[in-house]
Amino acid sequence: TNHRISRHRAAVKREIDLLHEYRTRLIADVVTGKLDMREVAAHLPKGDPLPPDSNCQDGTDLADPRRSPHP
């Protein structure tokens, strides 16, 4: 039914919004030094672990953490 679909859609949107909020908070905590990522970074593989996203219409690489699709 339409009401049920609308409820599920609203729930999914809320979850996505919460994930974006969590991502923003994690980035802010790393940038401000509240979260120390040095040990984690030391265990990351060398080089670029992800190839550029060839599906991007504008030629940008969404795997690049400096380019966020959500402001």
Instruction: Report how many domains make up the chain.
Output: 1
pLDDT of 18 reads 98
The whole-model pTM stands at 0.55
Tell me what pLDDT residue 48 has. Answer: 74
As a whole number, mean pLDDT of residues 1-22 equals 97
Is the pLDDT confidence value at 67 over 70?
A: no
Residue 12 located in a structural domain: yes
Using CA atoms, how far residue 19 sits from 23, 56, 58, 71, in Å, is 6, 22, 25, 13
In a domain, 48, yes or no: no
Is the Cα torsion angle 25, 26, 29, 32 positive or negative in sign? Answer: negative
**Angle CA 49–47–66, to nearest 5:** 70
Residue 70 lies in a domain: no
Domain that holds residue 17: 2-42
Question: pLDDT, tens digit, for every residue of 15-59?
Answer: 999 999 999 999 999 999 999 999 988 998 888 766 666 555 555
Identity of the amino acid at 17:
D
Is 38 contained in some domain?
yes
Q: Which pair of structure tokens corresponds to residue 1?
A: 């039914």
